[in-house]
Structure 1
Amino acid sequence: MFENLSDRLSGVFDRLTKQGALSEEDVRAALREVRVALLEADVSLPVTRDFIKRVQKKATGASVTKSITPGQQVVKIVHDELIAMLEGDEAAEALKIDNPPAPVLMVGLQGSGKTTTTAKLARRLKDREGKRVLMASLDTNRPAAMEQLAILGTQIGVDTLPIVKGQSAVDIAKRAKQQATLGGYDVYLLDTAGRLHIDDVLMDEVLAVRNAVTPRETLLVVDGLTGQDAVNVAAEFDGKVGVSGVVLTRMDGDGRGGAALSMRAVTGKPIRFVGLGEKTDALEVFDPKRVAGRILGMGDIVALVEKAQEVLEVEQAERMMKRFQKGLFNMNDLKMQLDQMLKMGGMQGVMGVMPGMGKMQKQVEAAGFDDSMLRQQIALINSMTKKERANPAILQASRKKRIAKGAGLEVSDLNKLLKQHRQMADMMKTMGKKGMLKQAMSGMFGKGKDAAALPDPGQLDPKLVQMAERQMMGGGSLPGGLSGMFKKK
């Protein structure tokens, strides 16, 4: 999502920040490139024009062009205006699903991913908010639509309304309301039927269901790959039915992201969630501040922490921290970290949300580093005995040959892994002494697991960040300290 736009803007702002002093013409020239980048990303012309006008007004004043860091000032203005464009006049409120049972109506055209999104939202409400959820399919037209939702319900552990053939959409909605009330459910999701295009039959059915259950939320599911068509569909649905929010699907396949950037400005409706894959956990909250940061290559530290929380237990993390503070870091610890990195989306997934690392993804790919290398390192550790994992210092030539042969790799691969391990052990010991590990644990697993409590990436000590990056990645000639572990064989 936004890869193309992010790459274009990154190039523009890199040149701008390296330029030193800026004239107003320099700023205008850069904004012309930004304008082209937004239009190529499929952002609507009126939205682009208004965005550039607001940025130019703020960025061409003497307070910017004569400041100590004019380039960075311009980037900050663009960042703030991106947030304003995505957020609108005020930030979107949380879903209104208190006072159970809360009905949520899912609407949209056929093929937009509505049924899958219903299941994704149900799983999110169940797993992350502890809600008891009931799903009901109101699609009496599409073959096997009800069965599809029932299968998804079984996969994610969420109840679905029993199928009764011959009932109308309104009858099913009323039955879902009754079962949700009697069964003690917190939320019931109503997956309505779609059409290939907006017509009177579709709208009449949605309106009848809406009047029957009075939903707290009406979420419109639209395919992000359709670009500005998605924005037009949202405007029509809101005008005829009224929607409280939008869910953009298939955003993982759209490197442009223009629909997301235009949606709030054109429709006035907030984007609640974005679908980023086919799996039932591939649904993310759309946060304008985090999205703006990712577009401008500033990373998304909150997303990184959320991923870490999903794969790492608090007790396990505390045990690891105590070991690291004592300077204890063996191959079992390294293997655990490699496993966690794969669970968090692999090297590319982690780099995509780390501050300052997004720009380096292509360089890493060109250097031949991918998740297969992580798996090779795990294979090398698995090839060791328990004694060797606990104390890699005992590894001499004969042991190295045996381990490399067992993993189907070369001794040189093992030597790189051992070097990486030594550097990470040194870094963990240093961070432990400086209290950084405890601080990171507090932010990640503190009261309420509030990821937002972590320090702003821009406030971190650059020297410390470089040290951590250099030692974790092995130190080397690649920009930013990425190492020989990225070199092709």
Structure 2
Amino acid sequence: MFENLQERLGKTLKNISGRGRLTEDNIKDTLREVRMALLEADVALPVVREFVKQVKERAVGVEVTKSLSPGQVFIKIVRDELEKAMGESNEELNLSTQPPAVLMMAGLQGAGKTTSVGKLAKFLKERHKKSVLVVSADVYRPAAIKQLETLASDVGVEFFPSDISQKPVDIAKGAIDHAKRKFFDVVIVDTAGRLHVDADMMDEIKDLHAAIKPIETLFVVDSMTGQDAANTAKAFDDALPLTGVILTKTDGDARGGAALSIRHITGKPIKFIGVGERTDALEPFHPDRVASRILGMGDVLSLIEEVQMKVDKDKAAKVAEKVMKGDDFTLEDFAEQLRQMKNMGGMMSLLEKLPGMNNLPDAVKGQVGDKAFNQMEAIINSMTPLERKKPDLIKGSRKKRIAAGSGTQVQEINKLLKQFMQMQKMMKKMKGKGGMMKMMRNMKGMMPPGMFGGGGPKF
């Protein structure tokens, strides 16, 4: 997410030299580079101008304390202004109304609106324990109605049937009446998208909004359209009283222009971001955490929340108990760890949230990428239960069979077994008094600067 902006700003902010104070002269070149980085990220020009102006006003003449270098002070100012540009804090959905709370989704075709309805329904059901009804008022695309029905089944919420022969207003009203009778907490109404903003579309969605009076009107927009996303959101906001934005496809957005432009141009908060295709790949938008990630400082809070929600605590506890007792850590345990990582979006999703990980060389990232982890899982799945318990049995002919079964080469089987043996040794060191602390000290020495206090900026 936002890799280009992260890389460019990271290089730029490293270049500011150490002085006793920050002056207009010694930050001029850095500000120019920051400006270019934001423009290349497709951030809207008014946002860039305001951002650079605010950073300059705050930075010039700031006294630098003994514990912080001028570069660290400057980075803190840039981080604060990034937060401010994106909205400073997370704004939750407003569901405080007589049930059912009606949420209406608007946006252009192809922005990920219907998928976002499914993700949001799952989010409300699992995190807020709400009973959710979803309905499609998109009478122009029968496939959209079927898609939402399938999604509702996948995430375990109720779908209200609709038909292309009906009027959108009648469909939505019918769904809300049904929700009242069946005591649903929330109704999410999916609306028709268009390939561009047009008068007919706006008139139809205005009529629908007036008829159902939703407590939340969320605009769904593709982050990869950059500052155009902010301009489209503004056009919708002029027609509808939007309450927030869902920014989709941020996992494929290397720039970040939409995230930094929307709040300034529309005045509306980004409430959620879509971070992948999975139905659980929807995250509340926290400007402070995203600002940290853009500056390569990680997002440990989101990582902790993800672990709490998606890790099977019972399975994790069993493995930990097994290791502490001194029992062997097996390839089956290793495969379980890989599955748990996949549940959290894969290894790269986890690494992105750790401080200093943008400093890792691309070759290292490739070795711990999702493709490599999928390959490892395929290799372990091609082994017999006995081989997973006793990897020493895996010799020549067995390696050939496993390679054929997993679509890999014998060299890759050897590499996995070597990595596993190293992990097994590490697990054995955790055993006994002080083992965990000793292992953490050893790991700290191997981490890149800035991770776990290993020499990076501290605020």
TM-score strictly above 0.5: yes
Quote the offset at 1:45 in angstroms: 1.3
Quote the offset at 1:76 in angstroms: 1.5
The one-letter amino acid paired with 1:249 is: T
Task: Give me the whole-angstrom Cα distance separating, in 2, the residues matched to 1:117 and 1:203.
Answer: 21
Task: Give me the whole-angstrom Cα distance separating, in 2, the residues matched to 1:468 and 1:358.
Answer: 18
* Residues 22 and 61, structure 2, Cα contact 8 Å, conserved in 1: no
TM-score normalised by the chain length of structure 1 = 0.80
Once the two structures are superposed, residues 408-438 of structure 1 have per-residue CA deviations (whole angstroms, 9 ceiling, x without a partner) of 32485266225422442155337x73777xx
Task: Give me the whole-angstrom Cα distance separating, in 2, the residues matched to 1:66 and 1:300.
Answer: 27
* Residues 323 and 428, structure 2, Cα contact 8 Å, conserved in 1: no
The one-letter amino acid paired with 2:212 is: V
Task: Give me the whole-angstrom Cα distance separating, in 1, the residues matched to 2:46 and 2:365.
Answer: 37
* Residues 330 and 389, structure 1, Cα contact 8 Å, conserved in 2: no
Superposed CA RMSD in Å reads 3.2
The one-letter amino acid paired with 1:282 is: A
Task: Give me the whole-angstrom Cα distance separating, in 1, the residues matched to 2:119 and 2:68.
Answer: 48
Structure 2 counterpart of 1:467, from 424, 442, 446: 442
Task: Give me the whole-angstrom Cα distance separating, in 2, the residues matched to 1:424 and 1:213.
Answer: 59
Quote the offset at 1:284 in angstroms: 1.8
Change (3 A) 1:172 1:378: closer
Task: Give me the whole-angstrom Cα distance separating, in 1, the residues matched to 2:129 and 2:241.
Answer: 28
Aligned to 2:456: none
Aligned to 1:335: 335
For these two proteins, the number of residue pairs brought into alignment is 442
* Residues 248 and 260, structure 1, Cα contact 8 Å, conserved in 2: yes
Quote the offset at 1:178 in angstroms: 0.4
Task: Give me the whole-angstrom Cα distance separating, in 2, the residues matched to 1:348 and 1:91.
Answer: 24
Quote the offset at 1:174 in angstroms: 1.2
Higher alpha-carbon deviation: 383-392 or 241-250: 383-392
Task: Give me the whole-angstrom Cα distance separating, in 2, the residues matched to 1:260 and 1:382.
Answer: 40
Matches within 5 A, 1:129-208: 129-208=128-207
* Residues 21 and 66, structure 1, Cα contact 8 Å, conserved in 2: no
* Residues 300 and 354, structure 2, Cα contact 8 Å, conserved in 1: yes
1:286 aligns with 2:288: no
* Sequence identity percentage: 44
The one-letter amino acid paired with 1:421 is: M
Aligned to 1:297: 296
Change (3 A) 1:65 1:464: farther
1:245 aligns with 2:220: no
Aligned to 1:450: none
Task: Give me the whole-angstrom Cα distance separating, in 2, the residues matched to 1:222 and 1:281.
Answer: 18
Change (3 A) 1:84 1:312: same
* Residues 97 and 187, structure 1, Cα contact 8 Å, conserved in 2: no
Change (3 A) 1:23 1:191: closer
Matches within 5 A, 1:53-68: 53-64=53-64, 68=68
1:52 aligns with 2:23: no
Aligned to 2:214: 215
Quote the offset at 1:307 in angstroms: 3.4
Higher alpha-carbon deviation: 268-277 or 22-31: 22-31
Matches within 5 A, 1:473-484: none
Task: Give me the whole-angstrom Cα distance separating, in 1, the residues matched to 2:10 and 2:429.
Answer: 30
Once the two structures are superposed, residues 371-412 of structure 1 have per-residue CA deviations (whole angstroms, 9 ceiling, x without a partner) of 4543555566567776775577xx4xx755465445332485
Aligned to 1:407: 402
The one-letter amino acid paired with 1:110 is: Q
Quote the offset at 1:14 in angstroms: 2.9
Task: Give me the whole-angstrom Cα distance separating, in 1, the residues matched to 2:394 and 2:109.
Answer: 60
SS at 2:360 equivalent? helix
Task: Give me the whole-angstrom Cα distance separating, in 2, the residues matched to 1:402 and 1:341.
Answer: 31
Task: Give me the whole-angstrom Cα distance separating, in 1, the residues matched to 2:414 and 2:72.
Answer: 43
* Residues 400 and 414, structure 1, Cα contact 8 Å, conserved in 2: no
1:424 aligns with 2:417: no
TM-score normalised by the chain length of structure 2 = 0.85
Structure 1: any 5+ residue segments left out of the alignment? 437-462, 482-489
Task: Give me the whole-angstrom Cα distance separating, in 1, the residues matched to 2:189 and 2:401.
Answer: 54
Aligned to 2:312: 313
Task: Give me the whole-angstrom Cα distance separating, in 1, the residues matched to 2:137 and 2:103.
Answer: 13
* Residues 140 and 164, structure 2, Cα contact 8 Å, conserved in 1: no
The one-letter amino acid paired with 2:168 is: A
Once the two structures are superposed, residues 188-207 of structure 1 have per-residue CA deviations (whole angstroms, 9 ceiling, x without a partner) of 11112223333332222222
The one-letter amino acid paired with 1:142 is: R
Change (3 A) 1:422 1:110: closer
1:433 aligns with 2:402: no
* Residues 466 and 480, structure 1, Cα contact 8 Å, conserved in 2: no
Aligned to 1:126: 125
SS at 1:274 equivalent? strand
Once the two structures are superposed, residues 440-466 of structure 1 have per-residue CA deviations (whole angstroms, 9 ceiling, x without a partner) of xxxxxxxxxxxxxxxxxxxxxxx9866
Quote the offset at 1:328 in angstroms: 4.3
Task: Give me the whole-angstrom Cα distance separating, in 2, the residues matched to 1:55 and 1:42.
Answer: 19
Aligned to 1:38: 38
Task: Give me the whole-angstrom Cα distance separating, in 2, the residues matched to 1:191 and 1:244.
Answer: 16
Task: Give me the whole-angstrom Cα distance separating, in 2, the residues matched to 1:414 and 1:191.
Answer: 46
Structure 2: any 5+ residue segments left out of the alignment? 404-409, 452-459
1:235 aligns with 2:234: yes
